[in-house]
Amino acid sequence: MPRIDAIDIFYLRGPEILDISDNSQDATLIRISAGGEVGWGECDASPLPSIGALVGPMSHVACRPVNDSVLGEALDNPVDIARINQRIKARSLDLLQANHVLAGVDTALWDLLGKRLGEPVWKLLGQKRVTPKRAYGSQLFGDTAQETLEKARTQRAKGFVAVKFGWGPFGHGEVATDADHLTAAREGLGEDGILLVDAGTVWVDDLEAATARLDALRETEATWLEEPFVSGALDAYKALSERSGSIGIAGGEGAHEFFMARAMIDHGGLDFVQIDAGRMGISEARRVAEYATAKDVRFVNHTFNSDLALSASLQPFAGNAKDDICEYPVERKLIGESLVKDRIARDADGLVCAPEAPGLGVEPDADVIRRFLVDVEIKVAAEVLYKTPEV
Amino acid sequence: MPRIDAIDIFYLRGPEILDISDNSQDATLIRISAGGEVGWGECDASPLPSIGALVGPMSHVACRPVNDSVLGEALDNPVDIARINQRIKARSLDLLQANHVLAGVDTALWDLLGKRLGEPVWKLLGQKRVTPKRAYGSQLFGDTAQETLEKARTQRAKGFVAVKFGWGPFGHGEVATDADHLTAAREGLGEDGILLVDAGTVWVDDLEAATARLDALRETEATWLEEPFVSGALDAYKALSERSGSIGIAGGEGAHEFFMARAMIDHGGLDFVQIDAGRMGISEARRVAEYATAKDVRFVNHTFNSDLALSASLQPFAGNAKDDICEYPVERKLIGESLVKDRIARDADGLVCAPEAPGLGVEPDADVIRRFLVDVEIKVAAEVLYKTPEV
């Protein structure tokens, strides 16, 4: 019975960190070893607090570092992963950042177990085969409507029928300005393009501000409006979903555990639930995918990191035929683009499937990790509690 | 117009950290300076990830360190505090630990503003006068029913009419064992004692496990059952509240922002919402208190730290006459007991009021901070990003 003999965390950082909504400018990676196998996971999380959550000293019985619930645990089958998840949740209950670290840990556990058993993770999760997903190109709005138009044309030329625009100026200014951006996006995509819009929580819980954009969204035939509000604003979500008609309401990336996502399905009126395995782990994301299916809500991944994260986020719904669209980042920085050698590619029709190879089916490149690795040292009461490990 | 010119974080640790549910074994303190005044706040949070969340490098536009949204901001009135809160929430949206740090920051801002304006925080929050609260002694169950009996007698002898027992063995074993503990607690408290029971999320979301304890709770006339489930398990909370009859259902300490607590009120059927200002800040806690009043749910503080945290947690409902019970830790370790010189005392009837002095009305003792201060140094890419500051 192999036991987990090492768990390491790595902080990677690109040459510049810009003040933009691009989560792939740095990276938080988790590496777990057991019985001679190694698994990798990526957290969509702030690196330094995550290191603290993995190795920081215990505060009390329910506020322990994550590694304390992982090291030495048996890892033979999916039940072990469920047990380790539960251990972390109970023993790090009061350590808020622990959920983001758990995400990478859970992913690395599945990767490791899949490699050992020679099976892709999605199969270990109970799915018989993968079903193709329409990859939507995920990018930021342009600073001007003209720029948005050009960005839409560029993605369409690259073969993206479905394109999501998000963040940037959208929602911060006049309703008419937003309408201009939406019109430009529709024009650039063409009549048959699938237009997805991401407001990036800009209206917090202001129902009227979101409602004011519905006409322009309808006129440009947007498929969904994503994150009009912060994840917890269930009442505002619900009310908007009752007004939005043909415009689907999407959200959920802010959920860092199953129950948060479930609340948005049960009480927020979501049409699409968007889950980042890098924020809650593959195990919890799978629970959300199953729950969404039962409630006839469409599950979509949220991914703005490397292909390691993309594979992780595809696993929970890899075999759900009805969930046929997936986020596919196209504007990533260096780390996001290069961490994995064999990219998860779109086919000629622009479709993507979860990898068939064991585990996550993708492997981070050690040279790339070394290239971007940040030296971190944390001393607590004269003891070195963390030092960037060897790759 | 004074601006915030410094924000510091301190990690305090007692001589031993035991594997028990006592949050006062260490401490995370925030100190903010502006225009010659200083304010203090305590986070109920893991220290090392919190330091990382305050000072760690930016990852992207919505994943910045908390200090980046605080330093240099104007601080003249409550509107400024609301603005700084919103800044942190938007700019640290993807930094999970940020909410626990915000709690201490928000508290320190209120303390500082109150001192400057010569008013207690509760008055700045719009409350006209303080109303007394019955202090309930909050402690852990004994390891045996006999020990629980003795602990109940001890608290009663100390003048606590209301006593809460939590954690320890409760819920982990047989229903009969839990019943023995409850019977012992009731016996020790006497017939007229107010018995409160805290399950510490032990049943996660297992409705039947919680239901199995209702008979014993009814027989011993417990006033509430607290945290039968994790905070997000709205459905289980709701279902239990429909079965619990005379036993009130309490929860909410896990909420790290207003919307989480609101969801528990709207969809979890809570009778008592328990909020820790050390986890969401005074501003958000005040929103919960106002919302709870509107929904006829009773607001109670959650506090297991020092009297700095106790004062912070009393402020949001200091003047709500109907919310007439408050948590008052009685089993704290060294730091919790000594951090503040002038304790918030119970009167002869066992009642407690929020302090009348400006700000929080309590001041941490610099000598105590120095005594327990932990030396921490964090280096990132050869640069010292954090070093324990001078007190």
DSSP 8-state symbol, B58: P
- State the smallest CA–CA distance between residue B140 and chain A in angstroms: 12
Contact state of A59 with B47 under an 8 Å Cβ cutoff: yes
Are B263 and B234 in contact by the 8 Å Cβ rule? The answer is: yes
- State the smallest CA–CA distance between residue A116 and chain B in angstroms: 31
Per-residue pLDDT, averaged over A170-198, amounts to: 97
| Backbone torsion region of residue B303, taken as left when φ is above 0, otherwise alpha when ψ lies between -120 and 50, otherwise beta | beta
Are B205 and B238 in contact by the 8 Å Cβ rule? The answer is: no
Contact state of B380 with A382 under an 8 Å Cβ cutoff: no
Per-residue pLDDT, averaged over A120-138, amounts to: 97
Contact state of A62 with B100 under an 8 Å Cβ cutoff: no
Output the pLDDT for position A31.
98
Nearest CA in chain A to B235: A263
Domain ranges in chain A are 4-119+365-387, 124-352
- End-to-end CA distance of chain A: give it in Å, rounded: 26
- State the smallest CA–CA distance between residue B102 and chain A in angstroms: 12
Per-residue pLDDT, averaged over B78-94, amounts to: 98
**Sheet bearing B26-34, strands edge to edge:** B4-13, B26-34, B37-43
Output the pLDDT for position B362.
97
Per-residue pLDDT, averaged over B109-135, amounts to: 98
Report yes or no: B2 at the A interface, CB cutoff 8 Å.
no
- State the smallest CA–CA distance between residue B233 and chain A in angstroms: 6
Contact state of A256 with B96 under an 8 Å Cβ cutoff: yes
Least confident of A14-28, A298-312, B88-102: A14-28
For residues A228 and B330, the model is more confident at A228
Are A279 and A97 in contact by the 8 Å Cβ rule? The answer is: no
Mutate to test the interface with A, among B26, B44, B55, B59 (most CBs of A within 10 A): B59
Report yes or no: A90 at the B interface, CB cutoff 8 Å.
yes
Nearest to B97 among A62, A97, A235 (CB): A97
Biggest CA–CA distance in chain B, Å, is: 64
Q: Which residues of A touch B100 (CB under 8 A)?
A: 96
Per-residue pLDDT, averaged over A164-174, amounts to: 93
Sorting pLDDT into bands at 50, 70 and 90, what band is B167? confident
Are B54 and B65 in contact by the 8 Å Cβ rule? The answer is: yes
Q: Which residues of B touch A56 (CB under 8 A)?
A: 46-49
- Say what percent of chain A tops pLDDT 70: 100
What residues of chain B, 317 to 376, have a C-beta less than 8 Å from chain A? 374-376
Report yes or no: A128 at the B interface, CB cutoff 8 Å.
no
Output the pLDDT for position B168.
87
Contact state of A60 with B89 under an 8 Å Cβ cutoff: no
Half-sphere exposure for B181 (CA within 13 Å, toward CB): 28
* pLDDT > 80? residue B331: no
- For A58, the 3-state DSSP assignment is coil
Output the pLDDT for position B390.
95
Question: pTM higher than 0.90, yes or no?
Answer: yes
Output the pLDDT for position A329.
84
Average pLDDT of the residues of chain B: 96
Sorting pLDDT into bands at 50, 70 and 90, what band is A150? very high
ipTM of the prediction greater than 0.85, yes or no: yes
Q: Which residues of B touch A62 (CB under 8 A)?
A: 21, 200
Sorting pLDDT into bands at 50, 70 and 90, what band is B374? very high
Are A303 and A275 in contact by the 8 Å Cβ rule? The answer is: no
Distance of CA B301 to the CA centre of its chain: 6
Contact state of B259 with A55 under an 8 Å Cβ cutoff: no
* pLDDT > 80? residue B6: yes
**Burial class of residue B345 (count of CB atoms within 10 Å of its CB; 0-12, 13-18, 19+):** exposed
Mutate to test the interface with A, among B60, B207, B376 (most CBs of A within 10 A): B60
Nearest to A380 among B230, B231, B374 (CB): B374
Rounded CA-CA distance A127/A106 in Å is 18
Average pLDDT of the residues of chain A: 96
CB–CB contacts below 8 A, A to B: 219
Sorting pLDDT into bands at 50, 70 and 90, what band is B21? confident
What residues of chain B, 262 to 301, have a C-beta less than 8 Å from chain A? 262-263, 266-267
Report yes or no: A305 at the B interface, CB cutoff 8 Å.
no
**CATH class of this structure's domain B4-120+365-387:** alpha beta
Output the pLDDT for position A331.
77
* pLDDT > 90? residue A332: no
What residues of chain A, 98 to 127, have a C-beta less than 8 Å from chain B? 99-100
Residue A273's nearest CA partner among A282, A254, A283, A281 is: A254
Report yes or no: A383 at the B interface, CB cutoff 8 Å.
no
Q: Which residues of B touch A14 (CB under 8 A)?
A: none
Report yes or no: B34 at the A interface, CB cutoff 8 Å.
no
Output the pLDDT for position B224.
98
Rounded CA-CA distance B237/A99 in Å is 22
- Say what percent of chain A tops pLDDT 90: 94
Output the pLDDT for position B138.
85
Rounded CA-CA distance B291/A104 in Å is 36
Dump pLDDT digits (tens) for A263-300: 999 999 999 999 999 999 999 999 999 999 999 999 99
For residues B344 and A21, the model is more confident at B344
* pLDDT > 90? residue A65: yes
Cβ atoms < 10 Å from Cβ of A370:
12
Mutate to test the interface with B, among A380, A384, A385, A387 (most CBs of B within 10 A): A380
Going by C-beta distance under 8 Å and a sequence separation of 6 or more, which residues neighbour residue B256? A96, B99, B100, B103, B279, B280
Output the pLDDT for position B332.
81
Q: Which residues of B touch A375 (CB under 8 A)?
A: 379-382
Cβ atoms < 10 Å from Cβ of A146:
12
Nearest to B374 among A99, A375, A381 (CB): A381
Dump pLDDT digits (tens) for A354-378: 999 999 999 999 999 999 999 999 9
Least confident of A323-337, B130-144, B192-206: A323-337
Sorting pLDDT into bands at 50, 70 and 90, what band is B287? very high
Output the pLDDT for position B309.
97
Dump pLDDT digits (tens) for B219-259: 999 999 999 999 999 999 999 999 999 999 999 999 999 99
| CATH fit for domain A4-119+365-387, picks 3.30.390.10, 3.90.1150.10, 3.40.50.1970, 3.90.198.10 | 3.30.390.10
Output the pLDDT for position A342.
87
The CATH code of domain B124-352 reads 3.20.20.120
